[in-house]
Chain A
Amino acid sequence: AQSVAQPEDQVKVAEGNPLTVKCTYSVSGNPYLFWYVQYPNRGLQFLLKYITGDNLVKGSYGFEAEFNKSQTSFHLKKPSALVSDSALYFCAVRGPRAGSYQLTFGKGTKLSVIP
């Protein structure tokens, strides 16, 4: 069965500093990986995805993520954090099994950007 781990419940960074939100996954075969962000009282907003190709993918709002197959990781990064980036971040994986489109989510990481 596929799974996602987000080892940090909370990440705090100062505004302007780089941020990293960690994600590791377990899936048979080549994964499809996604990052979503959830603001208070809002749904999940898509940030970026890795399907194939370049290991560094760029997404919305200046976020990027690096796929590392050997470490089975897909960490979310941003060079310079903004206070408005404070939110809950979810990593998700979709396995390669044909006909299966369900996303398996991590438990989420709360990002707090301190002014």
Chain B
Amino acid sequence: EPEVTQTPSHQVTQMGQEVILRCVPISNHLYFYWYRQILGQKVEFLVSFYNNEISEKSEIFDDQFSVERPDGSNFTLKIRSTKLEDSAMYFCASSEGLAGAREQFFGPGTRLTVL
């Protein structure tokens, strides 16, 4: 069964450093998403991406964040200058067309620890 994959599974970085989290969505999916889950809190939407551009973003997704689909398979989330409060589990998801009715398939997550 096709699945969303994410690398690395765990990333440790120093405050102020840049990190890139990588995702490979399911191959025939058209919509891509990033969510995050701070320990003990809700899963929160960050951004959605369709047709090589951001279609929606939350208040969390400020100028420190960016997303890119550098090739036909990868989808990345970049945090330019990490802060302590960016420590969280980051989930990538993808869905087929007609995204509203289609379920989103989630990857296993990348645990980001900012020291």
Q: Is B101 an interface residue (CB 8 A)?
A: yes
The answer to whether B106 touches A106, judged by C-beta atoms less than 8 angstroms apart, is no
Q: Does B56 contact A (CB under 8 A)?
A: yes
Nearest chain A CB to B69's CB is how many angstroms away? 16
By size class, the interface of chain A is 20 to 34
**How many interface contacts (CB-CB < 8 Å) are there between A and B?**
59
Q: Does B107 make an interface contact (CB < 8 A)?
A: yes
Contact B107 A103 (CB under 8 A): no
Structural contact, A100 and B56, CB atoms closer than 8 A: yes
Across the interface, name the chain B residue whose C-beta is closest to A106.
B42
**Chain B residues with CB under 8 A of A43:** 4, 6, 91, 106-109
Produce 1/0 per residue, B25-67, CB < 8 A to A: 0000001010100000111110010000001101000000000
Q: Is B103 an interface residue (CB 8 A)?
A: yes
CA gap between A41 and B45 in the complex, in Å: 20
> Which of A19-27, A45-53, A65-73, A77-85 contacts its partner?
A45-53
Q: Is B106 in contact with A44, judged by CB distance below 8 angstroms?
A: yes
User: A103 CA to B102 CA in the complex, in Å?
Assistant: 11
Q: Which residues of B are interface residues toward A (Cβ below 8 A)?
A: 4, 6, 31, 33, 35, 41-45, 48, 55-56, 58, 91, 93, 95, 99-101, 103-109
Q: Can you show 24 pairs from A to B with CB atoms below 8 A apart? A: A32-B100, A32-B101, A36-B106, A41-B108, A43-B6, A43-B107, A44-B91, A46-B105, A49-B103, A51-B101, A92-B43, A96-B100, A100-B56, A101-B55, A101-B95, A102-B45, A102-B48, A103-B45, A105-B42, A105-B43, A106-B42, A107-B41, A107-B42, A108-B42
